[in-house]
Structure 1
Amino acid sequence: MLTDVELLDLYRQLRERDVLSVYLDAEERDPAEKTAWRRRLNNLVAEARGAADGAAGRRAAFDAAVARVMERLDQYTGFLPGRGWAAFATPDRLWYAGSLPAPMPDLVAWDTGMRVAPLVRGLKQNRAVIALLLDRQRARLFRYRGGELGEPEELVPDAPEPDIEGTRGAKRAATHTGMRGATGTDVRQSLADAAAERLARLAVERAVALAGDDGFLVLGGTPEMIAAAARRLPKTMAGRVAERPSLHLAVTPAELQPILEEAASTLSRKQQEELLRDVLEAARAGGLGAIGREHVEYALRDGGVDTLLISRRLRESQPEVVERIIRAALDAGVTRVEELGGEGADALDGEAGGVAARLRYRPRPAETVGAK
């Protein structure tokens, strides 16, 4: 999966070139339909060839680009990997081809510049989701990103062995004072508590580093240690943490992955809905928010957009409109694009016609845009 920086670079390189863009849905699981994607692809290629310019040179360029994509697809004899698949080719080169962690619409387009709207939708799947599972004896960290769950990291407390004999000797020496001495059990418990505290601190530090600036963190394990980890989280993780006490340290990767996907989806939806509320309130108050296509496209031309919000319903019903808006965003260097579904999409459709933006600054007056 391309990162946002890689996508922007690829988009700019291909912006003025004839490009074949191919997207395929890869979510088939019925063995009887394991090559259904190939039949759909052949039909879409035939349609795109029929719609291509009839000039011999342009048709030959189309066929050359198709050949490059087909050559890559020949390695798959059954299901496609991932949940979606995409490729971008010119007659002389296959620029990108690979699986995607998000489902994609079936699409073949021969156009000036690459079709980007479906791919941008999958960018947020590159956000890391870290699972931190811990009890008093150990911690396990998993990193899920781009549809792949990595191997776990193991952490254990570095507690010293209790000096029980020395402690007992100290206790006997102190009995003449009338003060109660520490038992071996007391010392063991104290050391175990200190080790657990160190484990929680070290595990949280590592998990936060893995999550980065925009990743999610899912806490699991024993209730005591989940609470200990939660207390140590920095403020920068606010809104990016979910607790799942049902996750135990012996969880298998197959059990863990769907739980991480659900938690990430829930956290992402909450973030999007909070962002939309902020944008709508800012737009009503004349602040750093823009709503509606006209205002958002104007802000994009002026370079003032920080984050673009698109309704999933708008993308599905008017894909060409969304493609134009997202291309304008990439032209402006904006790769923060959020696609809202559910209640968020309802609010975005109802109040902003399916398009809104958080702004870095207020656009200049229309008559000054482009003026030197």
Structure 2
Amino acid sequence: MLTLEQLGEIQQTLAGGRVLTAYIAADESDPSDRSSWRRRLNAGLENIEQGLEGDERKAFAAARKLLEAELEPHRGFLPGKGWVAFVTPERVALCTEVPAPMPDLVRWRDGAVLGPLMRALKQKRPVLTVLIDSRRARVLRYVEGELTEETSYRADTYIDDLTDINSSKRGGTRSGMRGETASDAAERIHREETERLVRTVAEALRPQINNDTLLLIGGTPAAETALRKALEPLAGDRMTLDTSLHVNMTPAQLQPVVERTASELSRQRQLARVRYVVENAGGNGRGMLHAHAI
């Protein structure tokens, strides 16, 4: 599955040149309609070609020939739920199935039409949510509109277990460590257990964080901050904290927050890409600043 980062690279590569974009709805099961996708695609291609003349028509025909050759092996149903193709007169930049429903759409213009694919990628993009305090942590995953709890972790020692440290000793003012009061011992052990819990959660999450994963952390400020510091090298600007969240929230309470956070993180990253394109437009860059009708 493509990532949004890879899609951004494709966008830059194709910017400024004529591109044949084709989206194909492939989520079909009726045997009598096993080739209907091809008829719909051909109708869209014919509709465009009829309105072209001269060199533009030749360029389109070259791109169409490449697309049709790429799809030729698929005689019946297309695999997957949808397909997308970006084709120039010289090459097939992308032609692949997409694990999400796609609309039927054919366009010939400068640059690729990315909207439907970007929306599908956002739905597929995982959002990890971690709720953590000094005692426990919960990990939930949001993908394709569903939030599910994956696992939970607990600190080895609860602060409640420390109130009677050395209570059997006369005066009850000192712990077993020289010069350390019982309250100091409780604070030290509390801190050590929180740090251990953070390390455990961070180690478990690292293999799950790739270039497309968003991360939301909630809980107590100290635990949130420590976990963010541990994961920042991997998650970077795809991670955010929300101190309004707490470890006892239900998935139903969390889901609206996760959805809003995912949208905001995606928006911020898209704005960053727009700024990058603007800064690189013209000159030797491949930025392209104008609007298209989809």
Aligned partner of 1:291 in structure 2 is 288
Following superposition, the deviation at residue 231 of structure 1 comes to 3.1
Could you say what secondary structure the match of 1:185 adopts? helix
User: Which of 100, 116, 120 lines up with 1:118 in the alignment?
Assistant: 116
Q: Which has the higher contact order (CA 8 A, sep 6+)?
A: 2
Aligned partner of 1:137 in structure 2 is 135
Ranges in structure 1 where 5+ consecutive residues have no aligned partner = 9-18, 25-43, 54-89, 110-114, 294-310, 319-372
Give aligned-pair identity as a percent: 33
Could you say what secondary structure the match of 1:149 adopts? strand
Ranges in structure 2 where 5+ consecutive residues have no aligned partner = 8-21, 28-35, 46-73, 83-97, 107-112
Alignment of 1:148-159 (within 5 A): 148-159=146-157
For residues 79-123 of structure 1, the C-alpha deviation after alignment (integer angstroms, 9 at most, x for no partner) is xxxxxxxxxxx663352238x998965x488xxxxx996345312
User: Aligned partners of 1:138 and 1:213: how far apart in 2?
Assistant: 27
User: Aligned partners of 1:143 and 1:225: how far apart in 2?
Assistant: 19
| Distance change in 2, residues 1:93/1:131 (3 Å) | same
User: Which of 245, 248, 261 lines up with 2:246 in the alignment?
Assistant: 248
| Distance change in 2, residues 1:255/1:172 (3 Å) | closer
Following superposition, the deviation at residue 189 of structure 1 comes to 2.2
Matched, 1:92 2:76: yes
| Distance change in 2, residues 1:183/1:284 (3 Å) | same
Following superposition, the deviation at residue 219 of structure 1 comes to 1.0
| Distance change in 2, residues 1:277/1:20 (3 Å) | closer
| Distance change in 2, residues 1:157/1:180 (3 Å) | closer
Moved more, 183-192 or 259-268: 183-192
Matched, 1:21 2:10: no
User: Which of 189, 192, 196 lines up with 2:190 in the alignment?
Assistant: 192
Alignment of 1:2-17 (within 5 A): 3-4=1-2
Following superposition, the deviation at residue 21 of structure 1 comes to 3.3
Q: Which amino acid aligns with 2:80?
A: Y
User: Aligned partners of 1:213 and 1:231: how far apart in 2?
Assistant: 18
Could you say what secondary structure the match of 1:93 adopts? coil
Are the aligned partners of 1:4 and 1:123 in contact in 2 as well (CA < 8 Å)? yes
Q: Which amino acid aligns with 2:227?
A: A
Are the aligned partners of 1:132 and 1:141 in contact in 2 as well (CA < 8 Å)? yes
Alignment of 1:126-275 (within 5 A): 126-159=124-157, 164-165=165-166, 168=169, 181-275=179-273
Are the aligned partners of 2:131 and 2:218 in contact in 1 as well (CA < 8 Å)? yes
Aligned partner of 2:19 in structure 1 is none
Q: Which amino acid aligns with 1:185?
A: S
Are the aligned partners of 2:174 and 2:181 in contact in 1 as well (CA < 8 Å)? no
| Distance change in 2, residues 1:132/1:172 (3 Å) | closer
Following superposition, the deviation at residue 129 of structure 1 comes to 0.9
Could you say what secondary structure the match of 1:4 adopts? coil
Could you say what secondary structure the match of 2:122 adopts? helix
Could you say what secondary structure the match of 2:131 adopts? strand
| Distance change in 2, residues 1:167/1:240 (3 Å) | farther
| Distance change in 2, residues 1:167/1:203 (3 Å) | farther
Task: Say how many residue pairs are matched.
Answer: 216
For residues 171-219 of structure 1, the C-alpha deviation after alignment (integer angstroms, 9 at most, x for no partner) is 9999xxxx97323332222111110111122223333432222311111
Are the aligned partners of 2:139 and 2:150 in contact in 1 as well (CA < 8 Å)? yes
Following superposition, the deviation at residue 237 of structure 1 comes to 2.3
The TM-score, its normalising length taken from structure 1, stands at: 0.46
User: Aligned partners of 1:270 and 1:173: how far apart in 2?
Assistant: 52
Are the aligned partners of 2:209 and 2:234 in contact in 1 as well (CA < 8 Å)? no
Following superposition, the deviation at residue 234 of structure 1 comes to 2.9
| Distance change in 2, residues 1:91/1:255 (3 Å) | farther
The Cα RMSD (Å) is: 4.5
Are the aligned partners of 2:127 and 2:141 in contact in 1 as well (CA < 8 Å)? yes
Are the aligned partners of 1:168 and 1:183 in contact in 2 as well (CA < 8 Å)? no
User: Aligned partners of 2:240 and 2:266: how far apart in 1?
Assistant: 11
| Distance change in 2, residues 1:97/1:116 (3 Å) | farther
The TM-score, its normalising length taken from structure 2, stands at: 0.57
Q: Which amino acid aligns with 2:288?
A: I
| Distance change in 2, residues 1:236/1:172 (3 Å) | closer
